[in-house]
Chains A and B, each alone.
Chain A
Amino acid sequence: EAGVVQSPRYKIIEKKQPVAFWCNPISGHNTLYWYLQNLGQGPELLIRYENEEAVDDSQLPKDRFSAERLKGVDSTLKIQPAELGDSAVYLCASSPGLASYNEQFFGPGTRLTVL
């Protein structure tokens, strides 16, 4: 069974440019998460989807970040415009159930560098 797929693995952009990350969760997993991870820290939740509905986006900086999961399968996270402080690893995870107490399965992440 394929794991969580993310692309690209690495992205380098100039500040003020837009950037998008794509995630395909494990087949059949209803819940999808986007996290941000800074070096030496644990992941920070940005948004949680249950099917196509964003059920928790309270920590998503909505002035520049947006996300979508139109058909309840794959998802895209966008930053526009990117700032220097957005440099981090963006992780996508999925879980089979509709509640966060289920174990989450993570993708390899996208390492973003903003110059």
Chain B
Amino acid sequence: AQKVTQAQTEISVVEKEDVTLDCVYETRDTTYYLFWYKQPPSGELVFLIRRNSFDEQNEISGRYSWNFQKSTSSFNFTITASQVVDSAVYFCALSEPDSNYQLIWGAGTKLIIKP
């Protein structure tokens, strides 16, 4: 079974629309970490956020926000007022003791923002 599921393979929206990227994870550990990375067409993975399992407070950074809900094992990412520069593949990842803290990556969601 996949430990990190990003069910949306590709999302296409028009600029200025809000968009939410879903991430569902699976772990038996009580202490774990969740990450989001962005991979633009240039190829370099860019760290966006890390969240530990004891901190369920939602995070907002400019147009980006993250909703962490342990009850549904989800860590969703919302971009408000999307821009063309947001076009990229976005990866959600899990780090847990059971996997020796290796980053377990989702398959990624390709986000296309049309002008």
Contacts and interface: CB of A to CB of B under 8 A. Distances in A.
Of A104, A107, A109, most B-chain CB atoms within 10 Å: A104
A42 B102 contact: no
Given A42-B107, A100-B95, A101-B33, A108 B43 contact: yes
Interface residues of B, number: 22
A44 B108 CA distance: 13
B91 A42 contact: yes
Contacts of B72: none
Interface size class on chain A is 20 to 34
Contacts of B35: 103
Given A43-B45, A100-B101, A109-B44, 11 more contacts: A40-B108, A42-B105, A42-B108, A45-B102, A89-B43, A102-B50, A103-B50, A106-B44, A106-B46, A106-B47, A108-B42
Interface of A: 40-45, 48, 56, 89, 91, 93, 99-109, 111
